Structure 1
Amino acid sequence: MPANPSTPAPASEAARRRALLRTARDVAEDLAADSPARERAGRPPADETARLRDAGLLAALTPPRPGRGADWRTGCAVIREIAAADSSLGELVARHYVHAWGGRFYSADHRATALEEESAREQWLWTGAVHAPSPDDEAGRPDLTLRPRSPGYVLSGRRPVDTAAAAADQIVVDAVCAVTGDVLVVRIPPGARGMTVEPAPDRLGQRVAGAGTVVLDRVAVAPAQVLGRRPHDEESTAPFTALAEPALRLALCHVALGITEGALTEARDLSRGGRAHRPPGEDPDLFLAYGELATAAQTATAVADRATEVMAQALDAGEQLDAEEPAAVAALVAAAETVTSKAALHITARVLEFADAPGLDRFWRNARVLTAHRPVAHRLRSIGEHYLNGSHRAVAAAFR
């Protein structure tokens, strides 16, 4: 059964949580100091990844087990803290955390436990791109192909990856077996023989995230690298597996919230420091503008926090999750994504009216790239259909 959110955590777990959040704040402060310069340079996140690893965040941001890992609420708080300082790194951390759950979403529990222990011990950085099941066979068909070869498979094709394409220790992708037609979720290490990465230079935003296209030419995949099978459609998806895509979308909502926090904080500091177009003084119009934006940010945070709590309870339920729950969770996540996307784009555009300072535009560019591929109208129609008809299919469609 889901954990009761009002039940206090054991003292040791609460202390670990506080320590992790303190570490996240320290890392965020360090990242914020040179974020504009690193964003302008747009280099792959090799140094940044080292900072995260040295601070222990990569090992800590794995699914929770007694004495290690981070529960969903804490993980999302860390993501938001990092994203407020550097949204590229916030997205990198978000995708790392969710893909580290891949063993639980697609594998048996004993395999997931061993994989998570190895990930924490080796301080792996995770990334990937797994397609959501689709009622349209062609839309849901992966662009990667597995061909059986004893032992295991060989993997071929191309797949865009939004973070750490060349820096990650594990890349999680789905691929169709050319013989059986099954869609399998596999993990591959960068640098594997037959694999190359085509970087994505000169991105509009999220320039330090390390995006690129992974090109695979008969890359060997051992049986131990197969996490599990991804069903072809949402009707045949196990309840816990159905949380995989909403979990990623919700983690990215916290990146968007971090962007709004970072933009508002920097604009406020510029206004207080006299570098704004209008000095703060007693300007009621400026007060009104900041009041509007602060309210929009708080509203988005409230919606995302509600979805976060419900997702946390669903993840705590594990294999005992009720078959009807994932659709309700996904509907809340789709609503959170809609609200946070609108707030991030609106706030980051408005703060440009307050101050003319180098680097302030990066918040809008980062928000634009983060939200560009998820049209709001598409999600709203899916949410509405679920509200009216209780359609699982409609909610699943919101994440494509």
Structure 2
Amino acid sequence: MTAYAQHTWTTAVTTADEWLDRAREVAVVLAADAVARDRVGATPYSEVGLLKDSGLVTLLGPVEHGGGGQDWTTAYRVVREVAVGDGSIGQLLGYHYLWFWTARLIATPEQVAAVEEQATCERWFFGGAANQRDNDLVVVDEGDELVFTGRKSFSTGSKVSDVTVLAGVLEGTDKHVFAIVASHQDAIVFNDDWDNLGQRLTESGSVEIRGVRAPWSDALGYVDKQFRPRVYNSLIVPLIQLVFTNLYLGIARGALTTAAAYTRDRTRPWPYAVDVKETAVQEFHVLDTYGDLQSKLWAAEALADRAAALIEAINTHPDTVTERQRGEAAVVIAAAKQRAIDTGLEIATRVFDVTGARATANTVGLDIYWRNIRTHSLHDPIAHKRAEVGRYALLDELPEPTWYT
């Protein structure tokens, strides 16, 4: 395991472009041993340490508390850049940004200020246990405290997180409750059972919540035990869906970049062609394939950036966002996600056509890109995203807010 703590950062970053440069530096460090770390599958403590030391974990934090003060457009691009070097760590960072922002989405102004100050100053790394395909956590009201109990089959971040966002339903009601709690306590048991095809270093295994206690004052968005709803509350899903989109785009770019380097340096021209070339990069089918894949990737990235602009517009007036503004953003995000998945899987598959049989060697590691996109893109069925776009195009129908829309 590389000792990432030895990597030092000597320059301060303030602008969006500088943060993107920092993300690229992190990606280069991660890429150096990404394949080896994927094969071992060890808990990524050092990798999260790198994200902290580089400052990327505080990107969205308030400047007055030492954060980057950046917007979601920058955060999405940072996720994309980090995912070029390592898809697993890109996912961890993207989920961290979403859970860091949960207070902004749900909490009272006082809670937002308190959470963001402490999270930024102490460089919290966020995880979450809120998978809605499982039974909800049961939340019991015990006077001044809430007690969370239950099990979630996925908990991205788990042991490498400092805090975990819990979501459950208040017993005897239909009221959802979110709270941010310490990850390392006896009442939270991470089961270390994440053993999947790809995204192997995301610590996404199951978790058991055995009576986690939180004061009512930590119930996000509640005042005197009553929730204060806003349309903005429902942006949690579009935000994370666009994290997914940028994750896939970063992994796809990593595949294309790695394959291109291999083709330039190691792929041999086909000696039995009608028009034999001196190098592989002179072969027409190689140029045609890279041109096709690069064009598709640029198009998918442009659509993702368009979606981010819609989120940014909403973030300028979170308390007055309308259902239509929210719905139209969700539709464009759905379109961007499906293009990112289709393009990413195509790139991660077709790069083998232009690298050659020897590129399938385990030491090369080109398999990691397809495995990572294929694994995470099954998070929720892409067919439903296509149908959401279709209903909007045909019927001007906006998607109803759900835990997956």
Q: Which moved more, 1:280-289 or 1:159-168?
A: 159-168
Q: Separation in 1 of the partners of 2:402 and 2:392?
A: 11
Deviation at 1:152, TM superposition (A): 1.2
Asked if 1:167 corresponds to 2:160, the answer is yes
Asked if 1:366 corresponds to 2:372, the answer is yes
Change (3 A) 1:162 1:346: farther
Deviation at 1:143, TM superposition (A): 2.2
Deviation at 1:162, TM superposition (A): 4.8
CA contact (8 A) 2:130 2:152 kept: no
Q: Separation in 2 of the partners of 1:65 and 1:261?
A: 35
Q: Which moved more, 1:119-128 or 1:267-276?
A: 267-276
Aligned to 1:32: 31
Asked if 1:206 corresponds to 2:199, the answer is yes
Aligned to 1:117: 117
The counterpart of 1:197, out of the listed 174, 181, 190, is 190
Amino acid in structure 2 at the alignment position of 1:382: E
Change (3 A) 1:277 1:361: farther
Asked if 1:179 corresponds to 2:172, the answer is yes
Structure 1's unaligned 5+ residue stretches are: 1-12, 133-138, 230-235
Q: Separation in 1 of the partners of 2:400 and 2:135?
A: 20
Structure 2's unaligned 5+ residue stretches are: 1-11, 223-227, 271-278
Q: Separation in 2 of the partners of 1:347 and 1:182?
A: 43
Percent identity at matched positions?
29
**CA offset digits 1:243-300 (Å, max 9, x no partner):** 1110011011111010111000000000000246755242111111111111111111
Asked if 1:41 corresponds to 2:40, the answer is yes
Aligned to 2:341: 341
**CA offset digits 1:83-129 (Å, max 9, x no partner):** 00001000001000111110011111221122111100010001214
Superposed, which structure 2 residues align to 1:106-145 within 5 Å? 106-130=106-130, 142-145=135-138
CA contact (8 A) 2:131 2:154 kept: no
Q: Which has the higher contact order (CA 8 A, sep 6+)?
A: 1
Q: Separation in 2 of the partners of 1:90 and 1:317?
A: 28
Deviation at 1:317, TM superposition (A): 1.9
Asked if 1:50 corresponds to 2:49, the answer is yes
The counterpart of 1:389, out of the listed 373, 389, 395, is 395
Change (3 A) 1:73 1:130: same
Q: Separation in 1 of the partners of 2:194 and 2:178?
A: 28
SS in 2 for 1:171: strand
CA contact (8 A) 2:152 2:208 kept: yes
Aligned to 1:269: 261
Q: Larger C-alpha radius of gyration, 1 or 2?
A: 2
State TM-score, norm by structure 1: 0.87
Q: Which moved more, 1:77-86 or 1:155-164?
A: 155-164
CA contact (8 A) 1:64 1:71 kept: no
CA contact (8 A) 1:63 1:101 kept: no
Deviation at 1:200, TM superposition (A): 2.8
Aligned residues: 374
Deviation at 1:225, TM superposition (A): 2.9
Q: Separation in 1 of the partners of 2:392 and 2:232?
A: 19
Deviation at 1:303, TM superposition (A): 0.9
Amino acid in structure 1 at the alignment position of 2:23: A
Change (3 A) 1:14 1:215: closer
Deviation at 1:44, TM superposition (A): 1.2
Aligned to 1:102: 102
Asked if 1:188 corresponds to 2:181, the answer is yes
Q: Separation in 1 of the partners of 2:396 and 2:66?
A: 39
Q: Separation in 2 of the partners of 1:101 and 1:397?
A: 18
State TM-score, norm by structure 2: 0.86
SS in 2 for 1:174: strand
